[in-house]
Structure 1
């Protein structure tokens, strides 16, 4: 756990520094410093910066999806070649030839997950920052680039009665019903966006005639498993983390529809 903390330390500082910068900028424009919506907009600003920085990665992802679509006929031929062969040597040979095809076309079946994987350390860092807000406020401490005063402000801030640092399973004050309702609404939005995004990725990666292609099973796994993971895990996330993940999922969905 100490190793994870050391790895995430620079990400925690960067995440908190961006939040503080956006918060101070919004406060300078006249928004109340201790208001929950000011901090919510600061989190959304954090998402916009991270996702804008990942645009080159996303464009490479789209190119990989195109390449994946082009290699489907070769994968189908490979599947037919080894159809009915279940011995160990045949399975190994098929796996090696599949890897050679992926290398030849400059893609792999997991290329669609790259932007999400790059976001994981930022997501975990934000989770640690927001989960530690209440404890830091009580212990007269700051977190990352956030001063103790800003930690106290964030701990006291809420939207619609739901504290940004609260989760369904970790109540830190405010209205528990509001926390539950807001959590459910954002989980539904972010999982729906995740589902539609994966549908779009499948449409780009797999040609219409590839219904019996084995790659389809992998894509279907992402289609149903990823929204399920974030849906179930959402009850553990503070409201502020749900704001982050809902915003980033909506950004991803918009990119998939508008980038040709």
Structure 2
């Protein structure tokens, strides 16, 4: 059974070994020409380059995740109504919630998709560096590159070493660098989730089951990385820390420029936009409910009333006396109103 599971994961990871090693080798050929093929800086920057390529390829998925996450936050009042209505019927509640998710094009698991899709790359890089530490090559890496990666040092610590496996004269440097990266990885994970909860979640979404899930991610996920990070090679820690920094910056940009309505981030954006308009001397935006649609245009102002042109006495004399108003003809009496001659 275990052999079958190992064969299954091996079949999945083998193509990823080739893709990961190909990107890593490509960046190393560039940075190696600058810092030297065997230097730790060239291999560290190659890992950073690999991270940027992976995260850039996930941007479309991130956009989809943002849209689904916004919908998930905005429909929380409706979800709570369903929970109250069907609190004694779990099956009907699940059906109604799934119908609501489908109608609003919301995926409740979208927040985990970027993380789940990165895990295979993460595991491939882990095995790639771990194998290099033992002199084994995977993917397109040559034996010379494997030996260079295995011995490459960054701040006196080998990139292939782990916090738990540190030994020898450089054990202190390895543990110190690994500890710094683990703390950075944990802190960026926590701050990214906290940024989302404090700035881009409406008040209605801060209570209920969805809020509990977000709090679970806020505290549990960094703890998982902190515990597991001590067993990761320094190169893998560098990959994950860079990925977290990318996520934090990407999320900051989205929250700042496209916040969820009714959140502190939306209020801050309104204040910034108002300040920019005042700085340019533009009027404030119209009040809510009076905003013109894209097809509407403001009505033109009424032309000023023109005063009659003044005339001289000679001009008035030439025009003659004013006409008398036309009088209506007298009404003829009807038959019933005519006097009887008798």
TM-score above 0.5, yes or no = yes
Q: 1 or 2, which has the higher helix percentage?
A: 1
Segments of 5+ residues of structure 2 without an aligned counterpart are 1-5, 259-342
Task: Name the counterpart of 1:44.
Answer: 48
Q: Does 1:254 align with 2:266?
A: no
Relative to structure 1, is the Cα distance of residues 172 and 104 closer, same or farther in structure 2, using a 3 angstrom cutoff? farther
Task: Name the counterpart of 2:21.
Answer: 16
Segments of 5+ residues of structure 1 without an aligned counterpart are none
Relative to structure 1, is the Cα distance of residues 198 and 258 closer, same or farther in structure 2, using a 3 angstrom cutoff? same
Please list every run of at least 4 consecutive aligned residues from structure 1 whose deviation after the TM superposition is greater than 3 angstroms. Answer: 171-174, 200-206
Q: Does 1:72 align with 2:72?
A: no
Q: Pick from 34, 37, 48: which aligns with 1:33?
A: 37
Q: Does 1:91 align with 2:90?
A: yes
Q: Pick from 171, 177, 185: which aligns with 1:190?
A: 185
Relative to structure 1, is the Cα distance of residues 49 and 210 closer, same or farther in structure 2, using a 3 angstrom cutoff? closer
Q: In 1, Cα distance between the equivalents of 2:38 and 2:240?
A: 22
Aligned length: 250
Q: In 1, Cα distance between the equivalents of 2:198 and 2:166?
A: 41
- The higher relative CO (CA closer than 8 Å, separation ≥ 6) is in 1
Task: Name the counterpart of 2:285.
Answer: none
Q: Does 1:60 align with 2:64?
A: yes
Q: In 1, Cα distance between the equivalents of 2:236 and 2:250?
A: 21
Residues 203-259 of structure 1 deviation map (CA, whole Å, 9 limit, x = unaligned): 577421333322111111111111111110001100000000000001001000012
Matched-pair contact (CA < 8 Å) for 2:188–2:245: yes
Q: Does 1:132 align with 2:131?
A: yes
Relative to structure 1, is the Cα distance of residues 204 and 8 closer, same or farther in structure 2, using a 3 angstrom cutoff? farther
Q: In 2, Cα distance between the equivalents of 1:237 and 1:256?
A: 26
Larger Rg over CA atoms: 2
Task: Name the counterpart of 1:102.
Answer: 101
Residues 50-91 of structure 1 deviation map (CA, whole Å, 9 limit, x = unaligned): 1111111111111111111221121121122235x3xxxx11
Q: In 1, Cα distance between the equivalents of 2:84 and 2:207?
A: 11
Residues 106-129 of structure 1 deviation map (CA, whole Å, 9 limit, x = unaligned): 112221111111111100100110
TM (norm. structure 1) is 0.91
Task: Name the counterpart of 1:179.
Answer: 174
Q: In 1, Cα distance between the equivalents of 2:149 and 2:167?
A: 12
